[in-house]
Amino acid sequence: MRRLSLVVLGLAVAAVVAGLLVGHRSPSQADRVAHLAGELRCPTCAGQSVADSTSPVAASMRSEVAQQVKAGRSDAQILGWFRGRYGDAIVLAPPTHGLGWVLWLVPGLVLLAGVAVVLWRRRPPPRVPVRPQRPAALSAPRLAVAGLALAVAGVGVPLLLTRHSDTSAAATPEPAPSSSTAASPVEAAFQLLQAGRPADAESLVRPVAAQPGHDRALAVLVLGLAQRAQDEPAWRATLTRFLKHHPHHPAAAQVRRLLQP
Partner 1 sequence: MIAPAALLSRRTLLIAGLVAVVLVAALVLRPRGASSAGAGSPLIGKPAPALAGTTLTGQRFVLRPGHVTVVNIWASWCDPCRQELPLVAGLAQRWASDGVQVATIDTRDGASLARDFLAKVGASGLLAVQDPDGRTAVGWGATGVPETFVVDARGVVRARWIGAVSESWLTGQVRRWSTA
Contact residue for partner 1 among 8, 15, 138, 237 (CB under 8 A): 138
In the list 111, 183, 253, 258, the residue contacting partner 1 (rule: CB under 8 A) is 183
Q: Based on the shown chain and the rule CB under 8 A, indicate whether residue 174 belongs to the binding site for partner 1.
A: yes
Interface mask (CB under 8 A) for partner 1, residues 225-254, using x and -? ------------------------------
| Binding test (CB under 8 A) with partner 1, winner from 75, 211, 251, 252 | 211
Count, residues in the chain: 261
Please tell me whether residue 141 binds partner 1 under the rule CB under 8 A: no
Q: How far is CA 20 from CA 85, 123, 142, 199, in A?
A: 38, 51, 52, 53
194 belongs to the binding site for partner 1 (CB under 8 A): no
The smaller minimum CB distance to partner 1, of residues 220 and 243, is found at 220
Using CB under 8 A as the binding rule, whether residue 114 contacts partner 1 is answered as no
d(CA 28, CA 30): 5
Residue 30, interface with partner 1 (CB under 8 A)? no
* Cβ contacts of 77 within 8 Å, gap of 6 or more: 68
Q: Which is nearer to partner 1, 209 or 243 (CB)?
A: 209
Smaller CB distance to partner 1: residue 94 or 243?
94
Number of residues that bind partner 1 (CB under 8 A): 64
